[in-house]
């Protein structure tokens, strides 16, 4: 009888060890690290991409830029060097999707307020209307933290080129005029190498949650 219990104890220990190994293997299988896409122009709808790069399949990065923020400060790519950031396009007088987008960007700001690796960048598509003074008023109204979030204006052609040649995010308006850039609801997640790693509907709360989770994935990627 004593021998039986000894054998049973050994069996129980072996069974427990095997069970733990199986559980660990299953957990690791279900939680395999999946890197985010690195988006190229050829992967995005052609209506959002300048015709000169629509078929580009690799090496796409955000171009250098020089724009003016809500405080009259010149903002360049150097201000975002070694940063993960979320970018979008908007205008302060927009009464449709912009208030929702700005509200969600403010929520993201709140989540990353103490994270030195993450910033926000919003480009005006109506730079003539959105002067520095106008952006400053808007920033105060929307609770923009100057250290985390730049609202930028500047040369219209540069903004247009950034929108369609870098961020792949703005539609062309064939009718031209002040609104020859038709911005979308897209938020773009940019990594520290200036690559686009995700597109998100800035009016959709679930997409904002997904964006925040993807920021965590990028941070893990950088730590490896």
Q: Chain-centre distance of CA 141, in angstroms?
A: 23
Q: Whole-angstrom Cα distance, residue 164 to residue 52?
A: 10
Does 123 appear as a known binding residue?
A: no
The pLDDT score that the predictor gives to residue 174 is 59
Q: Whole-angstrom Cα distance, residue 32 to residue 24?
A: 12
The pLDDT score that the predictor gives to residue 8 is 54
Does 104 appear as a known binding residue?
A: no
Under CATH, to which class is 41-223 assigned? alpha beta
Give the burial class of 19: count Cβ atoms within 10 A of its Cβ; 0-12 exposed, 13-18 middle, 19 or more buried: exposed
* CA angle in degrees (0–180, nearest 5) for 98-104-170: 45
Give φ, ψ of 46 to 5 degrees: -60, -25
Query: From first to last of its 224 residues, what are the pLDDT tens digits of the chain?
Result: 545 445 555 555 655 556 566 664 554 445 556 889 999 999 999 999 999 999 999 999 999 999 999 999 999 999 999 999 999 999 999 999 999 999 999 999 999 999 999 999 999 999 999 999 999 999 999 999 999 999 999 999 999 999 999 999 998 765 555 556 788 999 999 999 999 999 999 999 999 999 999 999 999 987 76
CB 153 within 8 A of CB 137: no
SS3 198: strand
CB 172 within 8 A of CB 180: yes
CB 202 within 8 A of CB 97: yes
Give residue limits of the domains in the chain: 1-32, 41-223
The pLDDT score that the predictor gives to residue 48 is 94
Does 183 appear as a known binding residue?
A: yes
Q: Whole-angstrom Cα distance, residue 190 to residue 192?
A: 7
CB count in 10 Å sphere of residue 193: 11
The pLDDT score that the predictor gives to residue 172 is 79
Q: Which of 143, 180, 146 is nearest to 69 (CA)?
A: 146
Q: Chain-centre distance of CA 211, in angstroms?
A: 6
Global pTM?
0.83
Q: Whole-angstrom Cα distance, residue 143 to residue 87?
A: 17
SS3 164: helix
């Amino acid at each position: 009888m004593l021998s039986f219990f000894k054998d049973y104890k050994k069996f129980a220990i072996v069974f427990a060890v095997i069970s733990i190994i199986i559980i660990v293997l299953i957990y690791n299988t279900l939680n395999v690290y999946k890197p985010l896409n690195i988006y190229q122009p050829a992967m995005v709808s052609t209506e959002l991409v300048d015709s000169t790069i629509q078929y580009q399949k690799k090496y796409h990065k955000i171009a250098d830029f020089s724009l003016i923020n809500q405080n009259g400060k010149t903002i360049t790519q150097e201000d975002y060097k070694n940063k993960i950031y979320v970018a979008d396009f908007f205008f302060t007088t927009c009464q449709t999707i912009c208030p929702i987008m700005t509200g969600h960007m403010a929520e993201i700001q709140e989540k990353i307020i103490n994270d030195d690796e993450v910033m926000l960048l919003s480009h005006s598509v109506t730079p003539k209307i959105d002067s520095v003074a106008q952006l400053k008023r808007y920033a105060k109204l929307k609770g923009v933290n100057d250290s985390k979030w730049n609202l930028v204006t500047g040369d219209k052609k540069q903004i247009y080129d950034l929108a369609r040649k870098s961020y792949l995010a703005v539609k062309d308006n064939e009718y031209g005029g002040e609104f020859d850039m038709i911005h979308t609801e897209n938020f773009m997640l940019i990594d520290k190498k200036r690559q686009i790693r995700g597109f998100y509907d800035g009016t959709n709360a679930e997409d904002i949650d997904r964006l925040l989770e993807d920021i965590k994935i990028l941070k893990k990627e950088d730590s490896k």
